[in-house]
Structure 1
Amino acid sequence: MSHTLDQAVAVAGYYPALATSVLRHAIADESVKAHFVHAETTFDDRAVRRHMTILVITDTRLLRVHMDDGAGHGAEGTHEASATVETALLSGISNLAMTHVVHHPERFADNDVPAELVLAVGWGVHSRIELEPAGCGDENCEADHGYTGGITGDDTLVRVSAIADGQDSVRALQDFAAVLQRSIGPRG
C-alpha cells in the first residue's frame, strides 16, 4: 500500500487502523496508481454519524471502501463501525461522469477550482429503483394507473465542495478522476 494512502487515511482520522487493514487485504500485492480519501460527518436530530469513502486505482481494479458508524447490538450499547469493499475491474467500468459546479461562471478562469465536484462511476454493481404512482392528468380520475419510475445505476458517487471540504479536496478528486479516466481509457 502506498505511503501517501497510509498518510491520507491517518489524516482522515476515522478508525485508521481498521481502514488500513481493510485496504491492505483488498489491495493485496497490487500497486496503487491513485487514491482519494473522503471523510465526512453528518448530523440528524438524534445522532452524529461519520462516513469515509476511499477510492483506490490499482493496475487492474477500482476499489471502493466505505466505512460507516453504527449503533452496537450489545446490551451495553457498544459502538461499532462497518467497512464494505467493492471491487470493479477497470475493464468493467461502464461509465464515468464528472459534474463541475461553478459559482459565477462568468469569472471562471482555466485553473480555478469548481465550487463542487461530483464523480459518478458505474460498473453495474448496484441499481436503485424509484417508483411513483402514475396518473392520467385528470384531477377527477379515480382509476388506478399503476406506477411509473426508473432504474438508476448507483455504484459510486463522491461529492466534494470547496466550502465543506476545501479546495485541496476538490483538486484531489479532479486528479483522481483524471487518472481513472486514463486508466479506463479507450478499449481496443
Structure 2
Amino acid sequence: MNSPTYSTTAGAELQHDLVRAGFYPQMVQDVLAEAMMSQPVLDHYVHLETHFDHNEVHRHITVMVLSEKVLYIIHVDDQQLDDHGKDVMAQVSTEMIALHRIASVATNYVYHQPQHYRTGDEVRELTFGMSWNGTRRIDLEPASCADPQCDADHGLSGTAQPEDLVIRVSAEADGQRAVNKAREFAVRLRHETI
C-alpha cells in the first residue's frame, strides 16, 4: 500500500524500523496506514518482544505512532495452529487515542553504577507507561473478617487500577538504541500531551 502516511522522513523511519523488526512488516504497515487515514507520522516507537513458554517461542510487536492529535497503537500477536508451525494466525489490534485523553505518561529509569553517574550517561533500562482510562486491571480476593471463628461469606474486595500500556526496554535485551528511542518517544509524548 502506497500511503501518504509514510511519505515524510518520520514515516520512512517508521517503515525502516518495521522492516528491521521483521515481524510481518508489510501487514503492520498496511493496517497502520488504514488506521491513520493519511495522517502524517510525527514520531514512533516499535517494540518487538519475545518470550518463551515451555518449548515454544512467542513474539509480539507493539507499534506506537504519534500524529498531530492522535496516538495510534498497533499490537500484533501470532499463534501456531499446528504442531509444525506451518499454519499460523496473526491477530492485529488497533487503538486510536486522542492526545488530550492521555492522563498520564510515566517513565522509570534505571542507571547502572549510579555512583559514577555523569551528565549524558545513558539509561540502561526504561519502563514506559501511559494511561488514558481505556482499560483497568481489577484484582479481587475474598473479603475477610477479623473474627477467626467467622465462616460467613463477606463478598469480595479488591482494587481497580488503570493499566492501558506498559513497556519495559533494557539495553541488555533490546539494545541501547531501543532504550534511547523509547526515552525520546516518551519525552515527545509527554510534551505533546501537556
Structures share fold, TM-score greater than 0.5: yes
Any residues of structure 2 matched to 1:107-186 within 5 Å, and which?
107-136=116-145, 141-185=150-194
Structure 2 gap ranges (5+): 1-5
Partner Cα separation in structure 1 for residue 108 and residue 166 of structure 2: 11
Partner Cα separation in structure 2 for residue 104 and residue 144 of structure 1: 51
Partner Cα separation in structure 2 for residue 104 and residue 134 of structure 1: 44
Corresponding residue for 1:36? 45
- Letter of the 1:19 partner, please give it: V
CA RMSD of aligned residues (A): 1.9
Corresponding residue for 1:96? 105
Comparing 86-95 with 126-135, greater Cα deviation is found at 126-135
Percent identical pairs in the alignment equals 35
Corresponding residue for 1:85? 94
Partner Cα separation in structure 1 for residue 127 and residue 13 of structure 2: 23
**TM value normalised by structure 2:** 0.86
**TM value normalised by structure 1:** 0.89
Return closer, same or farther for 1:144/1:46 CA change in 2, 3 Å cut-off: farther
Partner Cα separation in structure 2 for residue 145 and residue 162 of structure 1: 47
- CA shift, 1:90, in A, is 0.5
Return closer, same or farther for 1:77/1:3 CA change in 2, 3 Å cut-off: closer
Deviations 1:89-136 (A, max 9, x none): 001111111111233322222212222111111112111111122334
Q: Partner of 1:106: helix, strand, or coil? A: helix
- How many residue pairs match? The answer is 183
Partner Cα separation in structure 1 for residue 186 and residue 171 of structure 2: 17
Deviations 1:57-93 (A, max 9, x none): 00010011101012339xx972111111111000111
Of 32, 35, 50 in structure 2, the residue corresponding to residue 26 of structure 1 is 35
Corresponding residue for 1:10? 19
Of 24, 49, 58 in structure 2, the residue corresponding to residue 49 of structure 1 is 58
- Letter of the 2:14 partner, please give it: L
Corresponding residue for 2:69? 60
